[in-house]
Amino acid sequence: MMVWLNIGSLLLGLLAWTLPLVNLFQNRKNHVAFTMLSMGACAVSLSFQIFYHYHLVTIGDWSAIMDISGAVAFAAAVLLGGTILLNALTLIPHKKEVIS
């Protein structure tokens, strides 16, 4: 059952990167909503990983924690950095709206 946290985390991470790309290439008027949904998907994706680690601690699977902690930390940093960068790029076409 807990494996769904990893699958959900992966899907939400992909969604967090897809929404800004859709927003950027289709030049939508509701870019703020897309940005908020993207950041929300990133946050929930990272939360799922925290819940999965909590599950591993609860069941005492220390070897699994030691095996995956480094990769999860790296993937979380890449996901967060990529999401912030992609959402920042979507603000460039709307610079006049953001400034005023």
- Spatial distance between the Cα atoms of 41 and 68, rounded to a whole number of angstroms: 22
Task: Give the side-chain half-sphere CA count within 13 A for 33.
Answer: 4
The pLDDT of residue 53: 95
The pLDDT of residue 100: 55
The whole-model pTM stands at 0.87
Confidence of residue 64 (pLDDT cuts 50, 70, 90): very high
- Spatial distance between the Cα atoms of 86 and 29, rounded to a whole number of angstroms: 17
- Residue ranges in the chain assigned as alpha helix (H): 3-26, 31-59, 62-91, 95-99
User: What is the tens place of the pLDDT at every residue in 2-52?
Assistant: 889 999 999 999 999 999 999 888 876 788 899 999 999 999 999 999 999
The pLDDT of residue 19: 94
Q: What does the block give as tokens for 72?
A: 């999860």
Please say if the pLDDT value at position 95 is more than 80.
no
